[in-house]
Chain A
Amino acid sequence: MITGSFDYHQPGTLQEAVALLAKLGDGARVLAGGHSLIPTMKLRLAMPEHLIDLQAVRELKKIQVTGAEVCIGAMTTQAELIASDELHRAAPIVRETSLQIADPQVRYLGTIGGNVANGDPGNDMPALMQCLDATFVLSGPDGERSVQAREFYEAAYFTARDDLEILTEIRFAATSGGYAYEKQKRKIGDYATAAAAVLLGKGADGSCEQASIALTNLADTPLYCEAASAQLVENGLTEPSVDAAVASAMSQIDPVDDNRGPAEFKRHVAAIILRRAIQQAWARA
């Protein structure tokens, strides 16, 4: 399988990359790990005339934990996220999620920036970022701006990122309390049939002080479940309260029939996966 022809560019700085993208315009795409883009190009579902490879842009490769703030450069690979003990101490849900993405070879090259910018509902990082309430920093010809992960996804492959913008970094607050990323897949290395990211904070009196829930591959965008999260904070982790939270999240999903199964099956799986994620996060809180 051979992709269409393209011109290859390798800028050395972010400034150069942004300028090049602005100059080349619509026919250009940035290339990060290539593990979503190259398969798409092989199928000729994408036929960019220019690829702007970001591998030499050093400033996009970093993991910084400053106090309670985490900042990750877009070109940081999934393998680098997994390997970072500092990141693991600040937000252990990131390693737990990354280890469930694809396989080792894909994780050596696949980047966090490519995963969240791609806009594929099957990607695992977008729901994780919504769960973490992350901020995406975008750089374009008109300068820099920030968009919340919870506001970023519009439809499958449509995001708030303008075609001429490069996603440069991802910021979120370090987490405390319990966490879980639970994913049902057909086989190891597969995209999710259903997956759930959950963060829960437990008070000294056993109450639920903080909750954040987001879901992967159950609609044409990742889903932040605001009402379900609020439900747990209000009513705690009793069985009826968890039932109500799951029911609330399930009212938000809109799965479709595909090779991972009929929508009915996915609804069934989604409820089980979310319940497991909530239980696991609470046990760790």
Chain B
Amino acid sequence: MSKQTINLNVNGQSVSAEAEPRELLIHVLREQLKITGPHIGCETTHCGACTVEMDGMSVKACTIFAIQAQGKEITTIEGLGNPDKLHVLQEKFREHHGLQCGYCTPGMITRAHRLLEENPNPTEEEVRFGISGNLCRCTGYQNIVKSVMAAAEELNTTESAS
């Protein structure tokens, strides 16, 4: 089928791309829109490296056709923080060595962001369960969980202070 125009709101900006219906959201984001934060690890819905937020849900962008996301709001790691102003989660991952090679990290943080939106005060077990769709080959998860717990604590303190 011929290409169609796909309009998205990515990280607060209206963007559009021309894509065949069979093109996956991850490919349109990375190859056309040059948003390369979300990675492709497995392309089979297992690793979560491609995780983005779509209308308030964490989704694996390798398992959605871009056309299914027509008109939706997408947030990627680029929309959470940047080198000049890191998101609390990014800050805590840095501080607690929540990454080694960093390949899983954008997906991990994007997922953790939604998890904390829905459950600002998670137990360690809830964090582990909540990020179970994201695989990391390096860290053994220990420091990732620590980082997310630390971010939750920080977010809660700043919130109650303000």
Say whether A and B bind each other: yes
Within 8 A of A (CB), among B129-154: 129-133
Contact among A31, A79, A189 with B57 in the assembled complex (CB-CB below 8 Å): A79
CB distance from B70 to the nearest CB of A (A): 8
Within 8 A of A (CB), among B96-122: 111, 115
Complex: chain A residue closest to B44, CB-CB: A39
Would you call B9 an interface residue if the criterion is a C-beta within 8 Å of the partner chain's C-beta atoms?
Answer: no
CA distance A188 to B21 in the complex (A): 32
Contact among B43, B51, B129 with A105 in the assembled complex (CB-CB below 8 Å): B51
Which chain A positions have C-beta within 8 A of B115? 104
A103 touches B65 (CB 8 A): no
Which chain A positions have C-beta within 8 A of B133? 102-106, 189
Complex: chain A residue closest to B4, CB-CB: A8
Q: What is the interface residue range for chain A against chain B?
A: 20 to 34
Contact among B20, B68, B131 with A53 in the assembled complex (CB-CB below 8 Å): B68
Would you call A146 an interface residue if the criterion is a C-beta within 8 Å of the partner chain's C-beta atoms?
Answer: no
B63 touches A104 (CB 8 A): no
CA distance A188 to B46 in the complex (A): 11
CB distance from B14 to the nearest CB of A (A): 20
B43 touches A42 (CB 8 A): yes
B132 touches A104 (CB 8 A): yes
CA distance A35 to B129 in the complex (A): 20
B64 touches A34 (CB 8 A): yes
Would you call A6 an interface residue if the criterion is a C-beta within 8 Å of the partner chain's C-beta atoms?
Answer: yes
Would you call B90 an interface residue if the criterion is a C-beta within 8 Å of the partner chain's C-beta atoms?
Answer: no
Contact among B21, B43, B57, B65 with A34 in the assembled complex (CB-CB below 8 Å): B65
CB distance from B16 to the nearest CB of A (A): 16
A109 touches B59 (CB 8 A): yes
A6 touches B51 (CB 8 A): no
Contact among A1, A8, A35 with B67 in the assembled complex (CB-CB below 8 Å): A8
CB distance from A57 to the nearest CB of B (A): 14
Contact among B43, B60, B130 with A106 in the assembled complex (CB-CB below 8 Å): B60
- Chain A, residues 184-205, CB within 8 Å of chain B (1/0): the string is 0000110000000000000000
Chain B interface (Cβ within 8 Å of chain A)? 1, 4, 20-22, 24, 43-46, 48, 51, 57-60, 63-65, 67-68, 111, 115, 129-133
